[in-house]
């Protein structure tokens, strides 16, 4: 297994990680990433898909590897302790089944008219001349949608956005004490708000997701208040972050490649959104702990090790996709790794897809002259992958 060197903080890598991914795939199905925790990593599409589904690996930290949590991070990890994203069966099974009883496909599909109207409302409020499409549209759409879905006041959107951005800083390469402190402060504010709101909904049920989560029950079990609060925070943070980055990366790609309007027609929008998610995904790494020795593609992953699944690399694997570095909305739809797979497949994926499939055609129809006014720049937020801003004109 080769050891490769590439700083995840290198500006050239942040702007375009794909050349390194190609070098890594050429080294074999697995390699050691010396600059990123010296972890075993893979950007091989077949290996990533197999490991997503292999129950000998998982998200939950093995007991023997649990380290003492620093006191200043205790509030953050108290929330993480109830996150189904960080758990394995049987607790993961219980939490996910309860959440899916409330976060139903019917509830998501019913949002379509509201998302459509919200897109038009946001476009109506765009400023004249040059503006940042992310700030005025891309960031507002998902946070307003999730606020309405949860049932929290829409005017809390700026607070929710600020808390979300601070909390996900805990997952970024090169985090420092300032970023940790900001994440903890956001966690405490978010938990305090949600605890009061959950109590209010217990007294005054409404037709919203929080009330549905409170009512969800299976085999006589319900979500505890702490589990419910963490679930709401997870739905906002994971769903918002992924959708904003997907939207920005997608609009950038559509404008840079001068993709014709026909690719956003009703009979083609699904394929176009899947190609956006494959070509430039919002999340580039998802890690797994190895619970017992695993042999895959001639490589043994030893018990107790950790493996990084490089989603951005797997989506560009030429063994899985023809001409993978070309953006091709007409490409036959094939599963990509952007929302994961297996047990931990993203529960918010249908909502993210609905938002993208709704917003992109409306933008093209309402703003047919939309064009970039400066080269978009990706933020130094690895292992996420998203733009700092998206400056455009529509006149």
- CA pair distance 41, 220, nearest whole angstrom: 41
Helix (H) / strand (E) element for 31: namely strand 31-33
Specify the length of the chain in residues: 395
| Angle of helix 157-167 versus helix 140-150 axis, rounded to 10 | 110
- The confidence score (pLDDT) of residue 157 equals 83
Residue 274 · residue 327 · CB < 8 Å: no
Q: How far apart are CA 118 and CA 141, in angstroms?
A: 7
Domain range enclosing 95 = 2-393
Number of domains in the chain: 1
* Strand-pair partners of 33: 4, 39
**Tokens 């006589």 sit at which residue?**
220
Query: Which tokens in the block code for residue 93?
Result: 């099974």
Contact 390, 248 (CB under 8 A): yes
> Which residues are registered as beta bridge partners of 4?
33
- C-alpha Rg value of the chain to the nearest Å: 21
Burial category of 23 from C-beta neighbours within 10 Å (exposed 0-12, middle 13-18, buried 19 and up): middle
DSSP-derived secondary structure for 330-356: TSPP---STT--GGG--TTHHHHHHHH
Which residues on neighbouring strands pair with residue 131, listed in sequence order?
Answer: 392
**Alpha-carbon torsion 88, 94, 99, 100, what sign?**
positive
Which distant-in-sequence residues (6+ apart) come within 8 Å of 308 by Cβ?
A: 33, 36, 37, 39, 40, 41, 42, 285, 286, 287
pLDDT tens for the chain, residues 1 to 395 = 899 999 999 999 999 999 999 999 999 999 999 998 878 999 999 999 999 999 999 999 998 887 888 999 999 999 999 999 999 999 999 999 999 988 888 999 999 999 999 999 999 999 999 999 999 999 999 999 988 898 888 888 889 889 988 998 998 888 899 999 999 999 999 999 999 989 999 999 999 999 999 998 877 889 999 999 999 999 888 777 889 999 999 999 999 999 999 999 999 999 999 999 999 999 999 999 999 999 999 999 999 999 999 999 999 999 999 999 999 999 999 999 999 999 999 999 999 999 999 999 999 999 999 999 999 999 999 999 999 999 999 99
CA distance 313 to 285: 9
CATH assignment at residue 341: 1.10.630.10
Q: Residue 230 has what pLDDT? A: 94
Please state, in angstroms and rounded to a whole number, the distance separating the CA atoms of residues 352 and 263. Answer: 19
Rounded-to-integer distance, Cα 122 and Cα 295, Å: 51
Reported pTM: 0.94
- Report the alpha-carbon distance of residue 383 to residue 285 in Å, rounded: 6
**Helices and strands (H, E) in the chain, number of each type:** 16, 13
Q: What is the pLDDT of residue 39?
A: 84
């Amino acid at each position: 297994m080769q050891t490769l060197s590439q700083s995840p903080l290198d500006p050239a890598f942040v702007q375009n990680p794909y050349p390194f991914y190609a070098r890594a795939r050429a080294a074999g199905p697995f390699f050691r990433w010396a600059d990123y925790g010296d972890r075993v990593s893979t950007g091989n599409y077949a290996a990533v898909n197999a490991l997503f589904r292999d129950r000998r690996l998982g998200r939950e930290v093995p007991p023997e590897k649990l380290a003492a949590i620093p006191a200043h991070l205790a509030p953050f990890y108290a929330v993480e302790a109830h996150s189904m994203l960080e758990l394995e069966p049987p607790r993961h099974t219980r939490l996910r089944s309860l959440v899916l009883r409330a976060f139903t496909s019917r509830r998501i599909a019913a949002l379509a008219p509201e998302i459509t109207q919200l897109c038009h409302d946001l476009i109506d409020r765009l400023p004249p001349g040059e503006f940042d499409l992310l700030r005025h549209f891309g960031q507002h759409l998902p946070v307003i949608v999730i606020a309405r879905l949860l049932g929290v006041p829409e005017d809390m959107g700026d607070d929710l956005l600020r808390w979300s951005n601070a909390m996900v800083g805990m997952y970024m390469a090169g985090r420092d004490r300032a970023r940790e402190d900001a994440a903890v402060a956001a966690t405490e504010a978010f938990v305090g708000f949600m605890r009061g709101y959950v109590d209010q909904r217990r007294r005054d049920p409404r037709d919203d997701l929080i009330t549905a989560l409170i009512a969800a029950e299976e085999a006589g079990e319900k979500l505890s208040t702490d589990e419910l609060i963490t679930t709401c925070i997870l739905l906002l943070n994971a769903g918002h972050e992924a959708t904003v980055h997907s939207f920005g990366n997608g609009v950038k790609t559509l404008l840079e490649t001068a993709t014709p309007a026909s690719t956003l027609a009703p009979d083609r929008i699904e394929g176009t959104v899947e190609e956006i998610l494959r070509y430039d995904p919002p999340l580039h790494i998802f890690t797994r702990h190895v619970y017992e020795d695993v042999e895959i593609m001639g490589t043994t992953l030893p018990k107790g090790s950790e493996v990084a699944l490089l989603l951005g690399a797997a989506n560009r694997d030429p063994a899985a996709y023809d001409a993978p570095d070309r953006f091709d909305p007409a490409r036959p739809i094939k599963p990509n790794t952007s929302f994961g797979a297996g047990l931990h497949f993203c529960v918010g994926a249908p909502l993210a897809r609905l938002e993208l499939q709704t917003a992109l055609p409306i933008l093209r129809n309402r703003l047919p002259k939309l064009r970039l006014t400066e080269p978009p720049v990706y933020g130094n937020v690895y292992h996420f992958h998203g733009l700092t801003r998206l400056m455009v004109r529509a006149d």
